[in-house]
Structure 1
Amino acid sequence: MADNPNRSIKSRAAIAGHPLHPVMIHFPIACLMLLVASDAAFLYTADLFWARVSLWLAGVGALGGWIASIAGLVDLVTVKRIRQMVLGWCHAILAVMLLSLASLNWLWRFKDPVDLLPWAVALTLLTTALIALAGILGGMLVYDEAVGVEIDDK
């Protein structure tokens, strides 16, 4: 944890000092993670309802992720101390990779919502793994590097 109050890095994409990116990313992550469960439900039951749920989760997760990434990109390119961090660039690159895969997954499902095996399921699982990695790096940015966090000197 950052122990020097001068180490905290303020977000430029913020409202009343609260960074937008960490606030906006929760819903898209939830959608993309729930995609695993809805795919499993469809494969187990063959009920078209679950295929439609998966289509919507993939679309909302990908679109919401791209929208949330704008706030992260603003901070990455406008805050010099963030721009200089390899960790910030790694987080951003992983996020672009996972959102690209999530978008491809949505397009695959849009073409045919019931054609899941093997590609849509593989894209879902790979996206889920990248979400975990990007989340770890994002957590390191917040908790270890104090990006978007004010540190009390108490």
Structure 2
Amino acid sequence: MAEVKEVIVSRAAIAGHPLHPMMIHFPVAALLGLVATDIAYLMLADPFWARASLWLAGVGAFGGWVASLAGLVDLLTVSSIRRKITAWCHAIIAVMMLSLASLNWLLRYAGPEQGMERWALYLSLLTAALIGLAAYLGGRLVYEHGVGVDTR
């Protein structure tokens, strides 16, 4: 007989579909694309890539914080999610990643002439690594623990 898993329903959802996993795609794409535009700027010194990086950093940081609000609602209002260590690890890694992404955007906002190009690239690479870790933990929440998945 198959084991019946606990149904863990998202409180931040539309028609039963959790908002957090829907909202993270654009910020993640922006922050991962940021690595490519940083490398392009360092190699070509074309100001276009610096502007593209500024916008990607801003969209990634702002969009990530907005998406995190939906995740925070679930973490704080659904007791079965709150009891999962994986959920707390996912949240902590995501806050670290978004903090770095926000710092990265602030450095760029000052302008590329400030000589922060290499630091910005390092922050972009570290942010990308943390995105990978947060994504892994988020996947475990969905596929192993069934968070936001109706298994009935």
Common topology (TM > 0.5): yes
The answer as to whether partners of 1:39 and 1:54 remain within 8 angstroms in 2 is yes
Distance in 2, Cα, partners of 1:62 & 1:117: 18
Residue aligning to 1:148:
148
Residue aligning to 2:86:
87
The answer as to whether partners of 2:38 and 2:117 remain within 8 angstroms in 1 is no
Distance in 1, Cα, partners of 2:131 & 2:27: 10
Q: Percent identity?
A: 63
1:53 aligns with 2:49: no
The answer as to whether partners of 1:55 and 1:113 remain within 8 angstroms in 2 is no
3-state DSSP class of the match of 2:102?
Answer: helix
Residue aligning to 2:123:
123
3-state DSSP class of the match of 2:11?
Answer: coil
Q: AA paired with 2:38?
A: D
Distance in 2, Cα, partners of 1:102 & 1:117: 14
Residues 4 and 15 of structure 1, relative CA distance in 2, 3 Å threshold: farther
Distance in 2, Cα, partners of 1:140 & 1:72: 15
Taking the TM superposition and a 5 Å limit, the aligned residue runs for 1:15-30 are 15-30=14-29
Alpha-carbon offset, residue 44 of structure 1: 1.2
Distance in 2, Cα, partners of 1:18 & 1:43: 41
1:138 aligns with 2:146: no
Give TM-score scaled by structure 2 length.
Answer: 0.95
Q: AA paired with 1:146?
A: G
Distance in 1, Cα, partners of 2:84 & 2:39: 38
Residue aligning to 2:103:
104
Alpha-carbon offset, residue 4 of structure 1: 3.9
Q: AA paired with 1:14?
A: A
Unaligned runs of 5+ in 1: none
Q: How many residues align?
A: 150
Distance in 2, Cα, partners of 1:127 & 1:41: 18
Alpha-carbon offset, residue 118 of structure 1: 2.6
Give TM-score scaled by structure 1 length.
Answer: 0.94
Q: Root-mean-square deviation (CA), in Å?
A: 1.2
The answer as to whether partners of 1:8 and 1:145 remain within 8 angstroms in 2 is no
3-state DSSP class of the match of 1:148?
Answer: coil
Residue aligning to 1:62:
61
Unaligned runs of 5+ in 2: none
3-state DSSP class of the match of 2:112?
Answer: coil
Alpha-carbon offset, residue 117 of structure 1: 3.5
Q: AA paired with 1:86?
A: I
3-state DSSP class of the match of 1:7?
Answer: coil
The answer as to whether partners of 2:11 and 2:18 remain within 8 angstroms in 1 is yes
Q: AA paired with 1:58?
A: A
Distance in 1, Cα, partners of 2:118 & 2:36: 16
